[in-house]
Every structure is written in C-alpha cells, then in structure tokens.
Structure 1
C-alpha cells in the first residue's frame, strides 16, 4: 500500500509512542540527572512532580482550546509540547531550588527562606519565560497551519511551567523544609552562608574569587585572561558556524520522513520499476473549458510529464486520455465528453518522477509557468504541488520570523537588564551559538548519519527553541550578575554571578538537552533532527557560551556593559 494515504499511515504509526514512550523516556532521563545533581532521593521527585503538574495543566488548557477549534493539534505539536514543558518546568524549578537552598543558609525560618527565594527567582524566571513565549508567538506570523498552531500551544506550556515553578514547587518545598535536601540538609549559617568571597584586589589589581570548587576555578580563569578567552571562544564558534552553509534544508522526499521500515516507501519503489514514478499521485490542473486544448498542449510540452488525461465521470475509468498520442474515443469511450463544473475541467498529469521528489517539484514549477502563459487563472495542485508550496512557504516563514524573534527578545532583555549594550551582545552570542549548532548538525547529518536533507521548518524550529531557550541561561546569569554588581561592583559581580549560578545553569542545560534528545525515540526524521540540533545547541549555550564567552566578554567590557545606565553601578 503506497501513495499519499500510505505515507500518512506510516507517519501516524511513527507518532504512536509519543504519549507513552516519549514521555516515559524524558521523565526517566531527567530523574537520573536530578538524582546525580542533588544526591537526594526526595528533591528529584518534587521537581518531577512540578513538571508533571505543569504538563497536566497545559494539556487541559490545550484540550479546551482545541475543543473550541482555536488551535489544531498534531503529533508533531503534541511531542514538542511534552518535551518543552518537562524541560522548561524542570529548568525553572532548578533555579528556584538553588535560591531556596541558599536562603535556608541565611534564614532559620523556612517561611523567610521561601520569601527570599521567590524574590530572587520571580524576575529571571518570568523574564526567561517571556522570551520563550515571545519567540513562540512569532510563529503566528507563519502561513503554515502546523507552525502557527505550535506557537499558542507551546506558549500555554511555558505559562504553566512558570506558574508551577513559582507556586506548586515553593509550596511543597515549604512543606518539606530542609528535609527535601536529605541527606545533605542545608544548615542555618548566617555568617558562613555566603559561599562566594571575592577579593577586591587580586593579581594585577583586579578582583578575583577565593575558595574551592569548579565554578570558583572557572571564575578565576575568566578573571585572569578575559579578552583572550572571549576572542578564542568566538573564533572557534565562528569557524564551526561556517559549516551551516552545508545544512540542506530545501525539503526532503515524503518517503524519507519515516525512519526505519515503511511499506509506503517500499511500494513506491516497486511502483517506479513498472510504471511512471508519479502514478497514483498525478498533478491536478483546473482549466477553463474554452482553454482545454491549449492547456493540454502546454502540459504535453512540459518535460517530466508522462501522460495527461481529462476527468470524465461517464468514462469507465473516470478519465479520458487526451493529447497527440491519445487514441481516438472508441468502444465504451465513444461519445464520452470531459466533465465540466462551473466552467472548469480537470486535467490529471502523470509525472515521470516520484510525486515527492525534487524532480517532480521542478516539473510542477515548469507546468505552472507554461500554463500561466495560456491563462493566468489555471491552477495546478496535487500531492507534488502541495509539497512544493509547503516548502516554499516554510522558507518564506524562516526569512520573516527569525528577524522578528531577534527584535522581540532584544527588547525584553533591555527591559530586564536596564541596558542597551548588554542585550545586544547577549543576543549576538546566542545567534553565533545557533549557527554553530547548525554547522555541527550539518556535519553530523551529512557525513555521519547520511541523511538526505531536512525540512525547511527544521532550522526555523531550531532557531526558535535555541535562541529563546539559550537566552534563558544568559538571563539567569546576567540577572544575578546585575544583582551582585549593584552591591559589589561590575567585575566582582560578574565573578560572583558566574560562581553562584554555574552549577544550577549547567544542570538546567543538561536536563533540557536530555529532554529534547528524548525526541529521537520517535522514528520521524524531523523530530530526530530537531532533537540533535536543540540538544547540542543547549549544551553549547550552557557549557561554553554562558560559562566562558559571556562572562569573559562582560568582564572585559566592564561597567560599560550596562550602558546607558552604567554610571549607577560601581566599576
């Protein structure tokens, strides 16, 4: 069984595990990571409960929206929603949990600790969520229904993630108190509770971090040679980003969308051995009755067309062969006329190449050009034409939506950081990170996995998630840096912010990368490619861009990073 319906059936079968296998794998991976990070059997359960609570609320709201026919749900949208909510809710929960643990060191009362943790968490979490929501809602500008539906659906998921992390999690942590961190309960220690000490004058007269630990070492490394670090890091990223030009995102054959076995793909190959590749999926041409002969001539003159027929309901086969090579009507075809409806007749052009191939799409382009010379009102449709229009619309969406997302996120960062220069630099680093992820993905897809290409929407979705989610880690870092800078000065604030947020942001990045990587269990090429791009890009943002590039660049620029309000902050 092959043809358009056969490929659709294979896709539906591929999505069957999306609400069981996908969710189970994602939750299991996140639980293991949290267990390693917290070394506590209690806290991972509370964080996962928060994520499941957020997902349940999101599913309920999306169900209501779909019931009211305000959004359209597909397997693709459903899978991305599940992964996005689990990953985002866990990230926000990690940020609050880190703040709550620090607050328990400074406050004996868990109520006071909860208030302090919320004060330090609300702004960066809301700002982070707002950037993701803003990026997702830009998908409403798309002309494709599948892209447009993902925007509001995923935005609902982010809203529920924020609410769960700022209401449900604080409530259960307040109820469990220090016991949530068992067996390593944080003890009240107001004097020694400050885990980071920055010396005002270290080597070379600049501030440096005193203490042990990985992130204290990273902060000292950044303070020693900030300019060399950000220049070298940027150079390496730019070199890898250069391979993004090899990313093939002009579309793939429908037969390649399902990874593994596909009866429809096997059937199409068998069909092509004996018949024209486009048999069963002809190009459909709607022609004014008076232009039938001229249209038939134009179709026959188009390279790549095997034969042409006109729809005739009185014919035993439903069609009537036409054109120069068509036999004269005889026998049961005698006296049969083309079926006319509202002044139009329908031609069916069987293409020589498989209906989902690039060659068939080129034939449709030529058909449209030749037929427009006959009558600009002639329409060419069918499976191939639909694929062609979808790909071209995806490319147009990419060109329009990506600049809009960058502008919106930059404005949000300006409001959060009360600065113009810092947001611009942060967005530029995130864009470089995205193209680096795209370049590495091109190398992996082309030379390791040997994939035939990618759908044009893959870079768009990758950009939306990487820029919106990647900027999260910069928000988590720079909001804390600004908070510390107001008290300790800019360069000391950078070192303190990096040291204090290093562990939690790295953990959040690993969790989010793992949840998106879980998409690879669904045997659909689009989801597997998106899983790799986002997972690799998130790790790149969390481990390299946020840990080295941004702190070193910010440290090198100094107080001017807060321009135009930089004079309000100590150097």
Structure 2
C-alpha cells in the first residue's frame, strides 16, 4: 500500500505547492490586532461616535520641537501650521504651543476605516509630507492612535517571510544534528514546510468562514506551531521507523509497523492541541478567536501531511536515507541500553527523593509569578524604536497627560446637565468640554484625565467615571484609549478565567480516552499544570528582570499557558503510550524505564526543536511575541528535561501498578 502511495504523495506535495500561489492572496499581516470585544463599552462608544460630526475620522497628532531642545519661535509655530496645511486641506483647531514654549502640536484628521498596511501607508505619507519643507533645526513626529496602529502593522511588514526563513533554518540545523545525516533532514523539513503553506491557506479560509479576520501576529504564531508540532510528529515517526529497522530487514515492513505504532500517539497529541486551541473560540477578543481557528486548522494539516505524505516518501527513499548511520538488524534496542536507559533506571531506583526534589523545584519557580506585573501600556508594545512612541513621549514631556488623547463620554442630550456635573465631579478628571451632538439625540464630551495614560490610576478614574455618568444617565458610555485599554485588560482576565479551565478539562478528557486509567490522567495533568506555572514564573521573571520589559502583556499568560499545556501533553502522550505498550510484559517500573529509554532521544530532540522554534518569535519587534517565545521556550525545556525525564517516571514508579488501574494489567 505504501509503495502505491509513494508517487501519489510526491504528486500531492508538488500540486499543493503550485496551488499556493493561486490561493494565498491575502496577507494576514495586513490586519491590526483587535484586543477589545465588540460588546465592550469602549467599542460601543466608538460605534456611537460615528454618528457625530467628524465621527468617521480619527486624529493623528503632529508634534514639532527644535532638535537642540530650545524654545520655539513664532516662525517655528508658523512652520508647524504650514506642515499641517501640507498634510491635510481640512480645517481644524489651531496649532497649540506648550507652556514651556518647547513643543507645538497640531491634529490631522484621518479616516477611521483605515487599518493594517493601508493605515501604515497613509501614516508614512503623512510623516514624509510633514518633514519635507520643514525648516532646518525642527523635528516633526507623528503620534496618536493611527500612528500606533500603523507602527504595529509596519512591524509585520515582511515579518512572515523572515519568521518562516529563520524557523526553517533553525529546524533544518537541529534536524541535521539529530539525524547526523546530510540528506534525511530534507524529507521531513520539506513535508512540514509544504504543510505550513497549505495550513496557512486552509486556516485563513476557515477563519474567514467563521467571520474572523486574522491579525498580524496570527500567521506568525501559526507557522511556529505548525513547524514545531509537525517536526515533533515527524521525529516520533522516524524514530520508531529507525527502531523497527533494527528488527527487520525489509524497510517497508518496518515503516508499516512504525506508522501503526506511532499514529495513535500522533493523532492523540494532535487532537489534544487542536481542541485546546479551539477553546480560544470562548475568548472575548476577536484576535484570540481568530488565532484559535487558524492555528487549529494548520495543525490538522500538519498531522495529515506527516501521517499521509511523509511515510510514502520515506518508503520511496529506503534505508539509504539514513546514510551514513544506516540501521542494521540486530542492533541493541533503545529500550535496553543507552544514556536514557541509565537515567531512567537511576530515577526508578530512588523515585521518592527524585519526585519530591523535582516538584519542590517547580513550586519554587511558581512563586516568581507573585512578583510579575501584568499589563503593557500602548507605548510599551515595541522592542524597537517607533516614531509613535517617541512622539508620544515628546508630547507627554511638554503637555498635560490626556490633553491630546481625551476620554470620550457619550450620553443623552436630554440629561446633558446632570452628565456634565457627574463628569466634573469625578476624582481624577481635569476638565470636560462638550464636543458635539448627534442627530440621534446624543451628546459627546471630551474629558481630560489627570493620570498617566493606561496606568492603574487611569483605570481607576475610568471605572469611577463610568459609575458617575451612569448615575446621571443609565445609557451613558465611556470610550477613548484609556477606556479601551481598561476593557482589553478586563477581557484578558475574563478569558483566563474561562479558557484555562476548559483547556484542562479537554486535556484530561483526551488522556482518559487514551489511557483508560483513573489515576494516570490526573497525575499527568497535575504535573503539566505545575510545569506550566513554573515556566510562567521563570519566564515572567526573566522577561522583567533579565530582558528589562516593564511587564507581561495582558495576553501573554493565557497564550503561554495554552501552548505549554497543550504542547507539553504532546510529550506526555509520546511517553505514556510507549509505557502502556511496554508495561503488560515488563511491569510498571521496567515499563516506564523502557519507555523513557525508547523515547528519551526523540522527546529531547523534539523539545529542543520546539523551544528553539518558539524563540524565533523574538525576531519580531513586538514585546508580547518575544515574551511568548521566552516563556514557552523555557517551559518546553522544563517539560523535556525535568517533567518527562524525571518527574513522571519517578511518580509512576512510586505509585506502582495502581497508576494504570483499571484499564491495564500492570504486573509482568
């Protein structure tokens, strides 16, 4: 059967590659991240604002200062006004000069419908127009909401190609080291690379069918997951193939046995990760739901390619693919020799002490979570210098906080007097000015807050302001950047509370179906959760204290926990399915020892590959992706070298045959 499928597999790979150019017309990176649910109060305020004059526009902010830090002259102020006139012909408020006479500000209206690379092009044109014709000695910077959105979109310009190239190079290097063959690494890498491209097309189509639009980070994270998980599946299959070649001379027979033995573990692992990713459909943020659908689709494609396309290609190449280390019949089996056998046997001799020491170490790492701050402001999103950030810092140094990016309150015009008093009486509000009325009987106020933008004090003021205005008008809503940041933080907290328990329930259900044991799934999930929390603690500490990031992003804990649990269970499944296979003949203690011996090399290789692939996210300039790479990379290494190699074998040995009850006879 494999022989007949070999050329068909080659045809599938070639045809799928040819079709990609026709199908992959959209660029996921063209969308900006959407962190606020559509039903959030700030989102509803933005929707209502569209009914007001100028509501279809958002302001970009031009900040002009002298390069030497000196005071602006009247000629400099006139040059600022001229720059604004070059940028737009629409009338607007006059140029405002700071009290210290060192900065001038002008606002430029932009269409609120612009997003992604279209927004980036528009802001880049504004920046070029503002700078051209500016007298020597003056410096112009464009900041504000549109500029931040443009810089985020620009950070993904060409990023997918860079990320894909670096990821493929890392995987290729590690596969060469793993297989010690100049040719073997090419087959799985090509299969996974095609799977990634096909998965990208399929994932985008599925997300679009659900009415979701992937943002700039979605395709990058999906590629990392497909390359990482796909490589894991290929390593497991090829490792078992190599092992079977030591038992039989006919390579096709060995491959059939390897596929039959490895397929259940690959399918179970894939199902676990896919179902865990689909829990993101329960998230409130549209970008999270989009990531869940697209990444799940990509991983299904990866598993199909590894199970359907890779085996025929391996059969077509034969044993010579392993050159120069071609397996020979009669070689010492992995289950009875080697470094992993010695490590597992050593753990099994002192399981109690090993388990206590290892679990205590993970518990200590978990405590670092208590001192890790969560929540990045708008200006803290970039690892590289962005003009929107430097311009905002210039603005903040010379103007009161909130003056150029006010909070907006929308309420019934019939209750305008009571709402106005409620706004001005709220602690933390500097001023409130009417900003227009809509034909639908609503009034808009522009409110300046005293607190720094997106700070805890600003969030407290937003909460107090919402309570105040609703006491005057129950239908009143509060929007603006600070309100949006407050809603994004609340949505992230809600998603953690809803999604994380669902992930654990799904993983537990899959393990129960796979192992048919009462105790083993509980032990495995418990250890996996402890390992994930330890990785969050260690990675969070490293992000803040070692790499100097201000805090973890709101979305980092959820994504990191999801990937750590789902991908960590991959290795658990690889190990325990082999232990379940060995236990009936050799008993619980020797069964787990033989399982570690057989899977130690492949789990280590897979773990190092996956950790390295996640670290590749650091090539992108957003802090949230760098943090995700750090935490997940460290967590995968903990899983690989501590949990699967030490803790699980120790716990299985301590618990004994009861660990498999009632689904397996665990005595030899």
TM-score (norm 1): 0.90
Aligned residue number for residue 233 of structure 1:
358
Superposed, 1:200-279 pairs within 5 Å as: 211=337, 213-249=338-374, 251-279=375-403
Residue of structure 2 in register with 1:281 after alignment: 405
After superposition, the C-alpha distances for 1:156-215 in whole angstroms (9 at most, x for unaligned) are 1110111111111111111111111111111233xx453433xxxxxxxxxxxxx4x211
Q: CA RMSD in A?
A: 1.5
CA distance in 1, matches of 2:623, 2:638: 22
Structure 2: give runs of 5+ residues left out of the alignment. 1-141
* Farther-moved stretch of structure 1 (99-108 vs 508-517): 99-108
2:308 is the counterpart of 1:173: no
Distance 2:657 2:543 in 1: 43
Pick which of 398-407 and 446-455 moved more: 446-455
After the TM superposition, which of the residue ranges 516-525 and 262-271 deviates more from structure 2? 262-271
Q: Secondary structure at the match of 1:456?
A: coil
Aligned to 2:425: 301
Other structure's SS at 1:489 match: helix
Task: Determine the structure 2 residue equivalent to 1:411.
Answer: 509
Alignment equivalent of 2:473, drawn from 366, 375, 381: 375
Find 2:600's aligned residue among 484, 495, 502. Answer: 502
Deviation at 1:283, TM superposition (A): 1.2
* Equivalence map 1:54-65=2 (5 Å): 54-65=195-206
Match of 2:666 in 1: 569
Distance apart, 1:82 and its partner CA: 0.8
Rounded Cα–Cα distance in structure 1 between residues aligned with 2:451 and 2:159: 33
Structure 2 Cα separation of the partners of residues 92 and 562 of structure 1? 25
Structure 2 match to 1:485: 583
Of residues 429, 440, 463, the one that matches 2:527 is 429
For the Cα contact (< 8 Å) 2:409–2:479, is it kept in 1?
A: yes
* Paired residue secondary structure (1:20): helix
Structure 1: state its 5+ residue gaps: 198-210, 313-338
Q: Equivalent residue for 1:161?
A: 302
- Cα displacement (A) at 1:67: 5.0
The 3 A distance-change label for structure 1 pair 69 and 500 is: closer
Equivalent residue, structure 1, for 2:561: 463
The Cα shift of 1:541 comes to 0.1
Separation of aligned partners in 2, 1:491 and 1:352: 65
8 Å contact kept, 1:50–1:90:
no
- Aligned-residue offset at 1:288: 0.7
Higher RCO (CA 8 Å, separation ≥ 6 residues): 1
Q: What aligned pairs does 1:520-535 form with structure 2 within 5 A after superposition?
A: 520-535=618-633
Partner SS, residue 75 of structure 1: coil
Confirm or deny that 1:196 pairs with 2:321.
Answer: no
Instruction: Evaluate the alpha carbon distance shift between residue 398 and residue 195 of structure 1 in structure 2; reply closer, same or farther with a 3 A threshold.
Output: closer
- Equivalents in 1 of 2:531, 2:208: separation in Å? 39
1:223 is displaced (CA, Å) by 2.2
Quote the residue 2:165 is aligned against: 24
Instruction: Classify the secondary structure of the residue corresponding to 2:550.
Output: coil
State the distance in 2 between where 1:219 and 1:27 align: 32
Q: Is the 8 A contact 2:408 2:445 kept in 1?
A: yes
Q: Deviations over 1:23-56 (max 9, x none)?
A: 1111111111111111101111111112102101
| d(CA) in 1 for partners of 2:290, 2:208 | 14
CA distance in 1, matches of 2:177, 2:334: 21
The more displaced of 59-68 and 359-368 is: 59-68
Once residues 380 and 279 of structure 2 are traced to their aligned partners in structure 1, the CA distance between those partners, rounded to angstroms, is: 29
* Match in the other structure for 2:518: 420
Is the CA contact (8 Å cut-off) linking 2:212 and 2:286 kept in structure 1? no
Within 1, Cα distance between the matches of 2:204 and 2:648? 40
Report the TM-score, using the length of structure 2 for normalisation: 0.77
Cα deviation for residue 351 of structure 1 reads 2.4
For the pair 1:14 / 2:155, whether they are aligned, the reply is: yes
